[in-house]
Structure 1
């Protein structure tokens, strides 16, 4: 239900939604990943400003608390997005674009979940991410394409009604 300037409410029908769509443009985010040997990428959707989890799991759920995991983005220098080793985050060589915006789930490491959470996604975060586990010589990649909502003035919307 939409609330208009005059305080009245309006519940748009299908024909009205077409008019609404013509006043707004939406660009979506597509996140695909290949983890644990999966060959079929699974799409995920998020928008700029959202938090997103880049998935990485051991094929067999095992305690990964003592394992090193390096999340990288090869097209950047330095390429490190998030590194965890010796049960601690090792962020000395972290790319400045990601400082204060990444974390791993310590409680989930015991179940083989090495995913990284990226906070406040930016358009510049789009790219290919790699999750490398040196102890197992395993790597998986995640392709992140960032989108955003692009809205015209609300006045245009209100003028249509």
Structure 2
């Protein structure tokens, strides 16, 4: 799923109050990961929120398969080194996360088992403007047996 989060300022009827409006548009795509086929699904319409509010970037797997053992990666595609949130090995791994997102992102851990990989982004900032990608993948471990020799 690719998310585009845009930011714009509007002056409301001459009011000096600045309305910070975020709109999120979605481009849906499907991912095929090694052992399972599933779709990554988001909403049909843009989401709107004001600066300072929290926003949930919806993302779920169809069929509703568990994402607990998967890697769930949220990226800013318009930035180099754009890691927004990373979940792998059953835990959040955000050492390489963009600094401005530290402490402001969260997955809904209890919902992962239902295939919900949505990201909660807290306290929206103008710097959050950009394109977001949700990627979920299931890795199948594969080990080769050591060959043995019979003499």
Out of 6, 15, 35, the residue aligned to residue 23 of structure 1 is 15
Measure, in 2, the Cα distance between the counterparts of 1:88 and 1:38. Answer: 22
Which residue of structure 2 aligns with residue 33 of structure 1? 26
**Structure 1 residues 63 and 84 mapped into 2: Cα distance closer, same or farther (>3 Å)?**
same
Out of 42, 54, 59, the residue aligned to residue 57 of structure 2 is 54
Structure 2: where are the runs of 5+ without partners?
A: 1-11, 29-38, 140-151
TM-score normalised by length of structure 2: 0.68
Q: Is the 8 A contact 1:28 1:45 kept in 2?
A: yes
Deviations 1:58-106 (A, max 9, x none): 0211111111111001222321100000110011111111111101000
Out of 89, 92, 97, the residue aligned to residue 89 of structure 1 is 92
Q: Secondary structure at the match of 1:23?
A: coil
**Structure 1 residues 38 and 93 mapped into 2: Cα distance closer, same or farther (>3 Å)?**
closer
Q: Is the 8 A contact 2:21 2:51 kept in 1?
A: no
Looking at secondary structure, tell me which structure has more strand per residue: 2
Q: Is the 8 A contact 2:71 2:87 kept in 1?
A: yes
TM-score normalised by length of structure 1: 0.64
Looking at secondary structure, tell me which structure has more helix per residue: 1
**Structure 1 residues 38 and 83 mapped into 2: Cα distance closer, same or farther (>3 Å)?**
closer
Deviation at 1:34, TM superposition (A): 3.7
Q: Is the 8 A contact 2:43 2:58 kept in 1?
A: no
**Structure 1 residues 66 and 119 mapped into 2: Cα distance closer, same or farther (>3 Å)?**
same
Measure, in 2, the Cα distance between the counterparts of 1:48 and 1:97. Answer: 15
Q: Is the 8 A contact 2:69 2:138 kept in 1?
A: no
Q: Is the 8 A contact 2:71 2:138 kept in 1?
A: yes
Tell me which structure has the larger Cα radius of gyration.
1
Measure, in 2, the Cα distance between the counterparts of 1:21 and 1:73. Answer: 34
What value does the CA root-mean-square deviation take over the aligned residues? 2.3
Structure 1: where are the runs of 5+ without partners?
A: 1-19, 137-161
